[in-house]
Amino acid sequence: MAEVLVFHHGHGLTSGVHEFAEGLRRAGHTVHIPDLYEGRVFDDLEEGVAYAQEVGFGTIIERGRAVADGLPGELVYAGFSLGVLPAQMLAQSRAGAKGALLFHACVPTSEFGGAWPEGVPVQIHGMDADEFFVAEGDLEAARALVLSTPDAELFLYPGDQHLFADTSLPSYDEQAAALMTERVLAFLEGVK
């Protein structure tokens, strides 16, 4: 079974992120879900992102690194939207990474030192009409990663919701979230 470090999105550590982590645990995986917002949860995504901007994205990434420093190196790093920043940084730069799961976001690998590490599988999940994922360059970065990395997969779901996998948000899409979870569990079963 895999050990997974999951980073929350811009709303904070919602009950939906907890529920996702619990589903992975029920499948037998060890899951860590740190709170990068120090207890703050925002009903409005714009308010949550404004908080992240106020704190600084670099600080959010460093909070993620600090959590990882207290855990084994052989982790799968997962992130929802904003949480992709620390997840992708750790997958690209921390020795021993077993894989990465990037939900609703992907940044160019050049942001974290260049090429994706050889032998580290990655899945990227997003909706094909999500304005954040498509218009802000995440889809382009995801496609570039898939083209340059043999162990990379991109899954696009029909729809325009950004955080479609969080059961606690109005953007939740049950069908897309179920398929994403099925693919994630298959990915984790294959992690060596």
- CA dist., res. 109 & res. 28, Å (int): 31
Give every strand in the sheet of 3-7, ordered side by side.
30-32, 3-7, 76-80, 99-103, 122-127, 152-157
Task: Encode 39-60: b = buried (16+ Cβ within 10 Å), e = exposed.
Answer: eeebeebeebbebbeeeeeeeb
> How far from 94 is each of 4, 87, 89, 91, CA to CA, in Å?
14, 10, 8, 6
> pTM higher than 0.75, yes or no?
yes
Decide if pLDDT at 10 tops 90: yes
Please tell me the predicted confidence (pLDDT) of residue 113: 86
What mean pLDDT is reported for the chain? 96
What is the tens place of the pLDDT at every residue in 89-140? 999 999 999 999 999 999 999 999 888 999 999 999 999 999 999 999 999 9
What is the tens place of the pLDDT at every residue in 30-69? 999 999 999 999 999 999 999 999 999 999 999 999 999 9
Thinking of the domain 3-190, which architecture would CATH place it in? 3-Layer(aba) Sandwich (3.40)
Whose tokens are 């589903």? That residue is 23
